Amino acid sequence: MVHLDGADVSWILLGIPLGIVLLYLGSEWMVDGAKKMAIRLGVTPFVVGLTIVAMGSSAPETITSLVSSSNPQIILGNIVGSNIANVGLAIGLAAIVSPIVCRFTDIKFEAAAMLAAVFAISLMAMMGSLGFVQGAVLVAALFVFIYFAYKLKKNVAGGDDEEASEIEESAKTPLWKCTVFIVAGLVFLYFGARAFIGGAVELAEMFGVSDLMIGLIVVAIGVCLPELCICVMAAYRKENELAVSNIVGSIVFNCFFALGVGVMYTTVPVTHYTMIFHLPVMILMASLMLLMIRAGNRITRWEGAALVSIYALYIALMAVFPELTQGIV
């Protein structure tokens, strides 16, 4: 085990929580500014939600991937671990708070896209590494997803007094104020990711564990905190559709956008245990969530407890068998 002095421990204690706060604020400000600017420029709320808000939800994962080029295992661990935590923690805890009601027919396209995304990165991982070519394919797949989502959903009835009020408020926001929010959000995202990754790398050295393990647990949970908060609050307020659509969209954008952009800048080797353990767990969690919804158009409290239990078992297995997170390619 590597010995660290007090200064290193202080950086860990400061960097990780500071990074989480900056990532959260940065994503909120960037999305808010970009959304209001787009509406002011005449873009419809539907397109804003499909692109800006959805990309904003995966902004922490994306920026974290971009600043982790010197620790490539964190990139893959960040995405895979975040997707697993999104289902096991966010959806699981939300369902325990209040059973999540969601009609499967309403999310059929998004569900298919989510399964396609997790299977796509798993198949690409069989090549032994992920690099520029795979990243370009994933980003291209994102634009295909956005195009078909727009074609399928643009005529769906929607809109209410709350949405009309939001449009009216956005139209009154000066463009300079929107720009300030966007720039401030990006700055907070960048420095938040730097602080978070710096603390996470020091934590890995302190406990003598791999970058992959830190990415799968610490970084993954940290960057999925916004989704966790959104899902739990949505469940508490009985906004069930929001809880599911938030997670399904987040997983799609994590796979296609956050991972795609990350591996375009550095080659990420895929370890043996990532292939035979972590990626299958990611596929299992995504599939379980959709099977639960398909079976009864809801996720019950006991099903939510089952998802949380599976996630707890996943973490426990990594703690008991640390070789599962070692860099054996």
Query: Which range has the worst mean pLDDT, 75-79, 103-107, 186-190, 309-313?
Result: 186-190
**pLDDT (tens digit per residue) in 309-318:** 999 999 999 9
**Domain span at residue 131?**
6-325
pLDDT surpasses 60 at 50: no
* pLDDT the model gives residue 283: 97
Residue 202 domain flag: yes
**pLDDT (tens digit per residue) in 229-286:** 777 777 777 766 667 877 888 899 999 999 999 999 899 999 999 999 999 999 999 9
Residue 207 domain flag: yes
Residue 1 domain flag: no
CA distances from 56 to 13, 48, 62, 115 (A): 27, 11, 9, 21
20 touches 194 (CB < 8 A): no
pLDDT surpasses 80 at 89: yes
Residue 133 domain flag: yes
What's at 299, amino acid-wise? Answer: I
Say if residue 153 is exposed, middle or buried (CB neighbours under 10 Å; 0-12, 13-18, 19+): middle
Residue 284 domain flag: yes
Residue 36 domain flag: yes
**pLDDT (tens digit per residue) in 115-133:** 999 999 999 999 999 999 9
Q: Which two tokens stand for residue 261?
A: 């952009």
83 touches 285 (CB < 8 A): yes
**pLDDT (tens digit per residue) in 168-191:** 666 677 888 888 888 888 788 778
Instruction: Give this prediction's pTM.
Output: 0.80
The string of DSSP codes covering 137-150 is: HHHHHHHHHHHHHH
Task: Return the H-helix or E-strand segment holding 269.
Answer: strand 268-269
State the CATH number of the domain containing residue 305: 1.20.1420.30
Interatomic CA distance for residues 61 and 184, integer angstroms: 18
Counting the structural domains of the chain, the total is 1
Give helix 240-253 / helix 279-296 axis angle, nearest 10°. 150
* pLDDT the model gives residue 287: 96
